[in-house]
Amino acid sequence: KYKEVFDFYEELNNFLHKIKFKIDVKNDDFQRGTIIGLFCKSLTTFQAIYILFKHYLCNNAENLCRILFEEMINIAYCSLSKDEARRYLSLQVINKLKLINIVNEEKNRKCLIKNYKETFFKDKSYNEWKNELINYLHSLGVKGLFNKKGNPITINLEERIKKVNSKVIMHLYLIFYRIVSTGVHSSPEILERYLISDENDLIREIHWGPKAENTEITPLFAAIHFMIIISEYLSNHFGIPEKKDIEHFFEKMKKLGRKYNYFLEEI
């Protein structure tokens, strides 16, 4: 049914895997390294979406589109400047801080397995962990990383999207991202695929397997769209891939997208 879309997906995937070997990353350039690391991760997600969809695990393929969208945002955000790349990398350290605070708080002890706190801080005390992580964050020299109380603050996804300042990406966030999030969070709406009700809202039938899957092709087009946008940021930052290649894939996506009703109106 979707052979021409599958063929196009494979064509783009093969092209992207070839260009990853052409991008040069210097050992001392953490910004470029971060972008390439995110790009390699996005390639894995892109492949996983395709494999799941082809094997009728379409709902899970749709869920992975949310992850690919976030990878696209992080690439775009880190492309802005070295400071933004540092701010992105700081998220890992802040998450570690949150973790050690959770383990250290006495009120959480009853929720953790026996002696977990003692084991967790066996090699390094809470204060040693905290000071080490806070000092590292200060060493980044990133403006706005700490609040007035001196506590580090994260930059959430929506703030990163606003920084990227792309109307196309904001549109995808406001519409598509929120749609696919229903499955990720197991929101009640997703149950409509599994529980079929009659006119009295009584369960008439239960679906599972392929019958419960959303086999609409939209997730594949969205994934293709995200990878083409990623390619644009790579081209702007590294000069690879060439603009003519991006244009080729974008025009092909638009042609197929119109045929299969993927929302591709000019934004």
Residue 202 counted as domain residue: yes
Distance separating alpha carbons of residues 106 and 91, to the nearest angstrom? 25
Structural domains of the chain, count = 1
Q: How much is the pLDDT for 146?
A: 92
Confidence of residue 160 (pLDDT cuts 50, 70, 90): very high
What mean pLDDT comes out for the span 135-160?
Answer: 92
Q: How much is the pLDDT for 7?
A: 96
Q: How much is the pLDDT for 113?
A: 86
The yes-or-no verdict on residue 267 having pLDDT over 50 is no
Per-residue burial over 7-31, b if 16 or more Cβ lie within 10 Å, else e, is ebbeebbeebeebeeebeeeeeebb
Q: Is residue 206 within 8 Å of 221, Cβ to Cβ?
A: no
Q: Is residue 63 within 8 Å of 180, Cβ to Cβ?
A: yes
Higher pLDDT, 88 or 2: 88
Residue 115 counted as domain residue: no
Q: What is the pTM of this model?
A: 0.89
Confidence of residue 29 (pLDDT cuts 50, 70, 90): confident
What mean pLDDT comes out for the span 26-44?
Answer: 89
Confidence of residue 27 (pLDDT cuts 50, 70, 90): low
Residue 216 counted as domain residue: yes
Going by the DSSP 8-state scheme, the letter that residue 175 receives in this structure is I
What is the overall mean pLDDT for the chain? 88
Residue 165 counted as domain residue: yes
Residue 105 counted as domain residue: no
Q: Find the domain containing 18 and state its range.
A: 3-81+157-259
Q: How much is the pLDDT for 183?
A: 67
Q: How much is the pLDDT for 115?
A: 85
Residue 212 counted as domain residue: yes
Q: Is residue 218 within 8 Å of 259, Cβ to Cβ?
A: no
Residue 94 counted as domain residue: no
Residue 27 counted as domain residue: yes
